[in-house]
Amino acid sequence: MNKWTKLTLPLLQPIAAIMVGLLAGAIAIMIAGGDILETYAEMWKGAFGGMYFFTNTLSRATPIILIGLGAAFAFRAGFFNLGAEGQMVFGALSAALVGLYMPGPGWLVCIVAIIAGIVAGGLWSVMAGYFDARFRVNLLISTLLLNYVAVLFAGYLVAYPLKDRSGSAAMAQSEMLDNSVWLPKLISGMPLHVGFVLAVLAALIIFVLLKRSVIGYEVRMLGGNPLFALFGGVKRGPMMLGAMFFSGGLAGLGGAVEILGSQYRYIDGALSTADYAWTGIMAALLAGSHPIGTLIASIFLAALQTGGMGVERNTEVPLEVGAIIQAVLILFISARFTYSFLKRRKGNKSDGTAV
Amino acid sequence: MEQLFDLALINSALRVLTPILLAALGGALCSRVGLFNVGLEGFMLLGAFSAVVGNYFFGNVFYAILFAIAIVSIFSFIFAYLSINLQANVIVVGIAMNALAAGLTTFSLRAIFDVKGAFYDNTMVGLPKWNIPIIEDIPVLGPILAGLTPLVYLSFLIAGLMWYYFYRTKSGFRFLAAGENPLAAKSVGIRVRRYQYGAVLASGVLCALAGAQLSLGQVTMFTEGMTAGRGFIALVATMLGQSGPLGVTAASLLFGFMDALSIRFQGLALPTHFTQMLPYVVTILAMFFFKNKSFQQDALKQGSSSR
């Protein structure tokens, strides 16, 4: 295998998957009775056409990047943490509570709110990790089910004790945060806020952590081959709790910056309908849990969503076309097309096991 | 308390447990051949939607269910091809399937019916509700079995048939062997992949029935994301029942009862948030009593898997 194929081969798979995804999108557009090229042009305009739309896409990507990084870290360690939604919701809720009720100067409240978000998301996630490490309660299922509990609990809080009764609106939401606690915008008049910088920093930190540190090595070892890690003396229990806290903390941070940077209050269902959590998990899967790759994939998936909104504004095609492209993408990125193709061409069918 | 527990509660438990039981049996089939099917939720949602679509266009419940089975079979075939032939991670494929089902049903709801959120049409016919002549008049049994859809009876029948297949037939024995140790099964000439495909396709059919019971059973309508985690609860029922038909039935009974109870609680003054939480909390609690296999065994098994 020469150098050129070595460099391009890892890219071949994502590009093939993106093509299949766009093809599925084209079929969906055709069924909905839209013009394919025109719809994709609108999608591009909605995501990247002009400064406002571009920063809007990056702002939407911010929580997705953080959640995706959290999921990627857990996946790297071999833990299927699918509880990002609940962890994000608790992060957002605690950030909103601190922002509303803590006295003191605005910048301090904002920082404490962010930390509260991280801790809340992390603890909710550690709970599932502890259940698995101590009682062998399947992590995948427990994190999934805890999502529903978290969303319903937060919904109860903003529907009854913490409900905003100042306005006439019947919506279940908390009161509005004070101006002074808001995260500053990066460019005035544009939706992009400081949270995006935090997200990029987090991606770089995790990249270095996984590549260059002992803990990063242990995490990758545990995810790559749990038995090898066991014989190598990696303690699975503490690692699991640590990885889950880190992963949930990032999801909590994602929720917190979304509240402090763009929504300014906790609105029941606003985070769930935007589908940040699952998009983040998808981004991690798309990038094969690589931190920098997750960053790029998150922006790409956010662009699909904001582009979908542009499509809905200007054509007859519903915005869910973005969701379809996204799901097909993940479906086909998980399959080892190129891998099996290469194997067949080389003619060495078996790798020691009987297939 | 008296208004909480009565025979009607058992009746409504039987109604709500049917989708969970059907999907859980599908999950049991898959997990018996070593495929952990997280996509049950998505299959069920697709089934619910396509049953409504079939019903709207054919105006016939039987064709509607056949249509649902056909659609979900296509998707379960994709699931099987990706995870068996292309060696994709089963859990990832399942997650993607759920996302695809959610996106596709919402998209089609807009594209086909031009509505958002929910679709209802009074020309649609729901599943027939049976009142069996003689049993109807028996004191206790009558109210319990009043007005149940045929799918309720069918789900229990399938559970029984599955038990017979697993433990009383040669093919079922091979099926279990293919899942227990694929390598050994292959060495004695059992076609492992064929059984894996069969399991995934059968689970698709069962999920289509589960979806049809959801969208055509109690109410005749489709709402976005109407499965609301029932696929995941079914997954827990699969694990809790150790993937055996009888255990799965017992676990589904428990969850169905909790679901019915949570609906009943809504009549009281409690906030609905907590009553809706009940099935999920009970499911998590139930998992404490079932010890999952150790990760070491899972890892060892993965190493010997011949997929």
pLDDT at A10: 64
Put simply, the answer to whether B287 touches A137 (Cβ < 8 Å) is yes
Neighbours of A267 (CB within 10 A): 18
Put simply, the answer to whether A32 touches B92 (Cβ < 8 Å) is no
Smallest Cα distance from A256 to chain B, Å: 23
- Residue recorded with tokens 């990885």: A243
Residue A56 contacts B where some CB pair is shorter than 8 Å: no
pLDDT digits (tens, 9 = 90+) for B48-100: 999 988 888 887 888 888 999 999 999 999 899 888 887 777 888 888 888 88
Interface test mutation site (partner A, options B31, B191, B274, B284, max chain A beta carbons within 10 A): B284
B113: pLDDT strictly greater than 90: no
pLDDT at A9: 64
pLDDT at A188: 78
Report which of A76, A57, A48 is spatially closest to residue A250, judged by C-alpha positions: A76
- Residue B298's pLDDT band, with cuts at 50, 70 and 90, is low
Whether A330 contacts B92, CB under 8 Å: yes
Smallest Cα distance from A36 to chain B, Å: 15
Using CB atoms within 10 Å of the CB of residue B188, give its burial: 0 to 12 exposed, 13 to 18 middle, 19+ buried.
Answer: exposed
Interface test mutation site (partner A, options B107, B281, B298, max chain A beta carbons within 10 A): B107
The full set of domain ranges for chain B reads 7-123+144-297
Instruction: Give the range with max mean pLDDT: A208-217, B5-14, B105-114, B126-135.
Output: A208-217
pLDDT at A245: 94
pLDDT digits (tens, 9 = 90+) for A176-206: 888 888 888 887 778 888 889 999 999 999 9
- Residue B304's pLDDT band, with cuts at 50, 70 and 90, is very low
pLDDT at A63: 94
B231: pLDDT strictly greater than 90: no
pLDDT at A95: 92
Smallest Cα distance from B191 to chain A, Å: 12
- Residue B136's pLDDT band, with cuts at 50, 70 and 90, is low
Nearest to B99 among A142, A152, A330 (CB): A330
Whether B210 contacts B58, CB under 8 Å: no
Nearby residues of A161 by Cβ (< 8 Å), 6 or more positions away: none
| ipTM > 0.95 (yes/no) | no
Interface test mutation site (partner B, options A136, A337, A343, max chain B beta carbons within 10 A): A136
pLDDT digits (tens, 9 = 90+) for B248-289: 888 888 888 887 887 777 777 677 788 788 888 888 888 887
Contacts of B91 in chain A (CB under 8 A): 80, 140
The full set of domain ranges for chain A reads 7-345
pLDDT digits (tens, 9 = 90+) for B15-61: 888 889 999 999 888 888 888 888 899 999 999 999 988 888 887 88
Between B238 and A153, name the one with better pLDDT. Answer: A153
Nearest to A160 among B78, B82, B271 (CB): B271
Contacts of B87 in chain A (CB under 8 A): 335-336, 339-340
A with B: how many residue pairs have Cβ under 8 Å apart?
148
Q: Search chain A and give the residue with CA nearest B236.
A: A141
Put simply, the answer to whether B87 touches A80 (Cβ < 8 Å) is no
Put simply, the answer to whether A226 touches B296 (Cβ < 8 Å) is yes
Put simply, the answer to whether B186 touches A354 (Cβ < 8 Å) is yes
Put simply, the answer to whether A340 touches B281 (Cβ < 8 Å) is no
Neighbours of B190 (CB within 10 A): 18
Q: Search chain A and give the residue with CA nearest B306.
A: A355
pLDDT at A7: 64
- Residue B297's pLDDT band, with cuts at 50, 70 and 90, is low
| Alpha-carbon gap, residue A278 to B157, rounded angstroms | 37
pLDDT digits (tens, 9 = 90+) for A250-303: 999 999 999 998 888 888 877 877 789 888 988 888 888 889 989 998 998 899
pLDDT at B205: 93
Give the tokens for residue A304. Answer: 């699909």
CATH number of the domain at B7-123+144-297, please? 1.10.3470
| Alpha-carbon gap, residue B20 to B248, rounded angstroms | 10
Put simply, the answer to whether B236 touches A141 (Cβ < 8 Å) is yes
pLDDT digits (tens, 9 = 90+) for B171-219: 888 888 887 777 888 888 888 888 889 889 999 999 999 998 888 887 7
Report which of A330, A248, A324, A337 is spatially closest to residue A288, judged by C-alpha positions: A330
* Spans of chain A, pLDDT less than 50: 338-355
Per DSSP, the residues of A252-266 read HHHHHHHIIIII-S-
| Alpha-carbon gap, residue A100 to A292, rounded angstroms | 34
Give the architecture (CATH level 2) of A7-345.
Orthogonal Bundle (1.10)
Lowest mean pLDDT among B6-15, B124-133, B147-156, B275-284: B124-133
Residue type, B37: N
